[in-house]
A and B are shown apart, each in its own frame.
Chain A
Amino acid sequence: MDREVVTKQEWLVARRDLLTREKEFTRQRDALSAARRQLPMVKIEKNYVFEGPDGKETLSDLFDGRSQLIVYHFMLGPDWEEGCKSCSYLADHFDGANWHLPHRDVTFVVISRAPFSKLESYKKRMGWRFKWLSSHGNDFNFDYDVSFTKEDEKKNKVYYNYREGEFVSDELPGLSVFYKDENGDVFHTYSAYARGLDILVGTYNFLDFVPKGRDENPDSTMDWVRRHDQYPA
């Protein structure tokens, strides 16, 4: 491994130099978050009904008394045997944040297209606490560009992450944010896909601190990831 071992004084010089860049980045990130808060919103006219641990619930019900709702679109299609391993990796990070999100007026839920019973058994296996609902039989996943039809597959053309591309899978990852006003109207404010979800992976944030970094294959970044109960001992 390429390395450069130096004195404490030299190390501090290098570290301070990096810190200047890190602070620049933190400010850039704050500015980007400010731009997100300037995004306009779209009123939701459809009445989506989901099935979850509390029975049938509408999108509006999911806010659970709060004004903001984050939905993680978890890749688990109706015919799938188990949840996507990379979504499972992301989901290992949900419960910790979710202790705190309700205290900033945010309700967090996970939605997949598989029937509810399938979600329940996989959730139990993985030891997760977050609320996970099924959009089985409604258009929700298709409307937010994370599920794709047989027709899309045949045409080999899908709209994902705000552009047209080739068909990859009947399910893809994403996250959507909704806002509910005082009249009970619900609005879509934000969706992110692909590497837009990178900031939600705490494990990556830790790995970005260590000398070897994420140490990933650039053509297949998450190929080392397993479900947390499937890593070799």
Chain B
Amino acid sequence: MKQKEMERETEAREMNRSRIVSPQEWEAARQQLLVKEKELTRARDALAAKRRRMPWLAVKKNYKFDGPKGKVSLLDLFEGRRQLIVYRAFLEPGVKGWPEHACVGCSMVADQVAHVAHLNVRNTELTFASRASQKDIERVKARMGWEMPWYTITDDFDKDFGVDEWHGTNAFIRDGDSVFRTYFINNRGDEQMGNTWNYLDITALGRQEEWEDSPEGYPQTATYEWWIWHDEPNKTNEDRPGLVQLRAARAYSKGSDASRGKKKRKQAKTK
């Protein structure tokens, strides 16, 4: 268990000492980086502006979900608000961690949902949806301390919205009783919803993952494999179910990135 930690420390020790500079030199380097950061902030604003100009797709099927108060429609999920975001989380039989946990990555996304009051006041409802029963969803939510609404998918909703085999986020808007799909994102696009990555991106060491372009000697471990369920007792155990699941999911993700062929994706399916 301590082995990995010690290796990391040794690596960190080898970090380039020439980076230590005077406050004036640091300030100069920081100013330069700030110019690039501002560029990226503007690029992000421009991208969000494009999203607001996406065309709308009418949702014609009458999807049904199980909720805490019984059967509800997609329209009901809006809770009277104008906009709805649905994150498809994997919490159901056949997913590693069942019945104690949702998928480890989906759990991490759930951990990072802040107080929903701030979204609600922007006329926006945020909801999670899975295949597990309400009873199971309630149990896992209570244990993990999650408070967002979480519904049970009962029909083709997941298939029709691209989330039957892989996590993803759909955004909808309502005009009276008519519902429109405006946006869908998955894979690394879902990273935007997780602050953990944003925080790590401002640290000296970064995410400490092997794909990163970092100075020589910086600690790096296998991408995603440090993810945990926040209540896991043996967080560094090599055989822990969360890690097994992540490795399988990564292999699947690579498969689905390389080829959109349904057959290949089915073969690589791990859940």
Contacts and interface: CB of A to CB of B under 8 A. Distances in A.
Nearest to A45: B23
B204 A211 contact: no
Contacts of A187: 20
A18 B50 contact: yes
Interface stretch (A34-42, A117-125, A130-138): A34-42
B138 interface: no
Contact of A205 (B181, B193, B226): B193
A71 B83 CA distance: 34
Given A100-B230, A200-B195, A37 B214 contact: yes
A8 interface: yes
Contacts of A203: 114, 118-119, 122
- Chain A at the B interface: SS class: mixed
Contacts of A22: 47, 185, 189
B259 interface: no
Contacts of B115: 92, 228
B39 to A, nearest CB: 8
A153 to B, nearest CB: 24
A87 interface: no
B131 interface: no
Interface residues of A, number: 85
Interface string B15-36: 1000111110111011101101
B173 interface: yes
Contacts of A42: 20-23, 26
Nearest to B40: A32
- Chain B at the A interface: SS class: mixed
B265 to A, nearest CB: 18
Contacts, number: 272
Nearest to B214: A37
B230 A5 contact: no
Contact of A209 (B185, B198, B199): B185
Interface string B118-136: 1111111010000000000
B204 A177 contact: yes
B27 A162 contact: yes
Interface string A190-214: 1110011011101101111111111
Nearest to B23: A42
A70 B195 CA distance: 13
A7 B181 CA distance: 11
A207 B192 contact: no
Nearest to A108: B199
A34 B51 CA distance: 27
Given A209-B171, A214-B122, A29 B27 contact: no
Given A4-B56, A15-B54, A200-B195, A26 B188 contact: yes
Given A42-B22, A68-B205, A93 B195 contact: yes
B208 interface: yes
B144 to A, nearest CB: 9
B205 A105 contact: yes
B56 A5 contact: yes
A32 B113 contact: no
Q: Give the 5 A-B CB pairs with smallest separation, nearest first.
A: A99-B230, A96-B112, A97-B195, A34-B213, A40-B21
Interface of B: 8-9, 12-13, 15, 19-23, 25-27, 29-31, 33-34, 36-38, 40-41, 43-44, 47-52, 54-58, 82-83, 85, 108, 111-115, 117-124, 126, 169, 171, 173, 175, 180-185, 188-189, 191-196, 198-208, 212-215, 218-219, 226-228, 230, 235
